């Protein structure tokens, strides 16, 4: 860290406010060479100077050990109160009239590049700054934008995975475009990653993305205390979603409002695949998952909530015959008998799920999630079908026929009724002649036989 003057006042003035001694400023080459840890340490006081000048010092930036740079409130905020408003740092839109953009689209399709053409177009439109650089001859009439030097430096301060060389796709694209010798490919790769990890959707027609500076340091939570929107001028407006006391970390959801209603495994999967982190927020680490409520199969009136780990890889090692885990409690308002909701226990009748019933609930949930993924276009049809098959057939194959299961079924006289309801649900979703419904029908016959055997053993 000693190779950078992390407390240089001149650097802060020049980089963030346009003043001070520009000779002491850290420029683009130095920023590119920084690791993400160095960048975080260097940038915090600069971010706070910028925030104080534009946002009445309403927020401050700090480095969190597990989240990196995050924002905290400097005063109390009421629900709905505006915390700050900020114009875009940069906006890039598809340009159907640009020959260069057309060539990027063709190369992306022909070469099967990892990202959509707009991502590469965004990176190119932040590659050059108007203060120190001129466009190469090959790009002189390309329609590219150029950033101010300060805005480009701010842009490079945003989060991106550490990379010291361009990706294979970047090299392939630039070779195809004939730009390998005209561009700094490491800079292009870093700019590309900044866009991917920090952008907001700006417009639909033409499709465009935007990046905001202070807003990019807002942490995600599946139970956020802030909400944001655009005003008529496409400024980013942050408002309090709940009461926020001074000193509280500010959070927004990186997911849509609809996605926040999804169960924890689905939310975590989406965030891990799109934002490269496993969410460990208050909701994702709670002992029960309030997004995974099921109607009680016994009283048909109460609600049973599952624990977040149930049905995931963390839960897969438990066999059907193994005992259930200790009851997990979650304090909330609304429990019929007390103020505690217990994972796997009905909120009305108090009946606890058998492990077999729990398996059926998890399998039904998996079918629902796969249907949602298919509707969202997140998975190809063949992948959905394969996972359905894995979830229902492979997941249950060999379990139902065990002697341990037979005794568990005899002890739980609601199991056959639960299986019938599962069969009805699958028949409704896929049709009674579908292999999934027929498979469960066969398993119901097996259940009946095992129950009879268990009763015979008892008699």
Q: What is the pLDDT of residues 24-70, one digit of tens each?
A: 457 777 887 888 888 888 889 889 988 888 778 899 999 998 889 99
Distance CA 360, CA 358 (A): 5
Lowest mean pLDDT among 19-28, 55-64, 235-244, 340-349: 19-28
pLDDT higher than 90, residue 94: yes
Tens digits of residue pLDDT in 407-417: 444 334 455 66
Closest Cα to residue 358, out of 347, 369, 344? 344
pLDDT: which is higher, 361 or 453 = 361
pLDDT for the residue numbered 309: 61
Top pLDDT among 80 and 431 is at 80
Please state whether the predicted TM-score (pTM) of the whole model is above 0.85.
no
């Amino acid at each position: 860290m000693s190779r950078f003057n992390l407390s240089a006042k001149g650097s802060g003035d020049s980089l963030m406010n346009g003043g001070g001694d520009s000779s002491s400023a850290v420029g683009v080459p130095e920023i590119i060479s920084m690791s993400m840890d160095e960048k975080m340490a260097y940038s915090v006081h600069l971010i706070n100077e910028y925030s104080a000048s534009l946002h009445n010092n309403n927020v401050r930036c700090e480095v969190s050990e597990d989240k990196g740079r995050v924002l905290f409130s400097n005063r109390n905020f009421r629900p709905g109160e505006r915390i700050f408003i900020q114009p875009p740092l940069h906006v890039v839109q598809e340009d159907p009239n640009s020959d260069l953009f057309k060539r990027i689209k063709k190369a992306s399709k022909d070469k099967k590049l990892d990202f959509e053409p707009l991502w590469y177009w965004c990176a190119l439109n932040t590659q050059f700054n108007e203060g120190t650089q001129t466009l190469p001859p090959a790009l002189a009439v390309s329609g590219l934008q150029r950033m101010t030097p300060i805005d480009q430096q701010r842009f490079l301060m945003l989060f991106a995975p550490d990379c010291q060389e361009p990706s294979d796709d970047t090299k392939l694209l630039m070779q195809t475009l004939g730009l390998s010798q005209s561009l700094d490919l490491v800079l292009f790769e870093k700019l590309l990653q900044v866009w991917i990890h920090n952008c907001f959707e700006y417009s639909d027609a033409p499709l465009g993305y935007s990046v905001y500076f202070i807003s990019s340091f807002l942490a995600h939570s599946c139970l956020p205390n802030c909400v944001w929107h655009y005003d008529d001028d496409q400024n980013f407006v942050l408002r309090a979603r709940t009461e926020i006391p001074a000193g509280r970390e500010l959070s927004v959801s990186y997911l849509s409002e609809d996605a926040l209603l999804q169960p924890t495994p689905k939310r975590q999967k989406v965030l891990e695949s799109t934002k490269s982190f496993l969410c460990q927020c208050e909701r994702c680490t709670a002992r029960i998952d309030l997004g995974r409520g099921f109607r009680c199969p016994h009283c048909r009136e109460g609600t049973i909530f599952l624990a977040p780990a149930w049905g995931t890889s963390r839960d897969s090692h438990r066999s059907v015959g193994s005992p259930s885990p200790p009851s997990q409690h979650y304090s909330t308002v609304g429990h019929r008998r007390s103020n505690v909701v217990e994972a796997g226990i009905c909120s009305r009748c108090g009946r606890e799920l058998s492990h077999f019933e729990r398996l059926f609930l998890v399998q039904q949930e998996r079918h629902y999630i796969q249907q949602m993924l298919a509707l969202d276009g997140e998975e190809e049809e063949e992948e959905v079908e394969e996972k359905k098959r894995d979830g229902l057939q492979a997941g249950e194959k060999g379990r139902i026929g065990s002697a341990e299961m037979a005794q568990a079924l005899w002890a739980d006289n609601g199991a056959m009724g639960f299986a019938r309801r599962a069969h009805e649900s699958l028949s409704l979703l896929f049709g009674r002649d579908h292999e999934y419904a027929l498979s469960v029908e066969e398993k119901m016959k097996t259940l009946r036989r095992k129950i009879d055997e268990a009763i015979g053993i008892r008699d």
